[in-house]
Amino acid sequence: MSSTANLPLTDVEKAKLRKAKVKIMELHTFEKEHIAEMLDVSLERAKILKGLADLKRVPSIGF
């Protein structure tokens, strides 16, 4: 697994994660409601970010 998760976060969302002392790699561990509250985004946006974070956790098996 890579050391960074490339999620489509805005600069404001990244700043809010830093303020909450949450690493991008830890985003998959939170419920979508908590992500929405923490980042002050819609529940739909939180659901997308949670889904992408979960997807990034799947290891690549190569060829």
Question: Largest Cα–Cα distance in the chain?
Answer: 40
Residue 63 has pLDDT above 90, yes or no: no
Close Cβ partners of 9 (under 8 Å, ≥ 6 residues apart):
17, 24, 49
Q: How confident is the model at residue 1 (pLDDT cuts 50, 70, 90)?
A: very low
Q: How confident is the model at residue 6 (pLDDT cuts 50, 70, 90)?
A: confident
Per the CB < 8 A criterion, the answer to whether 49 and 35 are in contact is: yes
- Closest alpha carbon to 30 in 12, 20, 60: 20
Q: How confident is the model at residue 4 (pLDDT cuts 50, 70, 90)?
A: low
Residue 20 has pLDDT above 80, yes or no: yes
Mean pLDDT computed over 8-12: 94
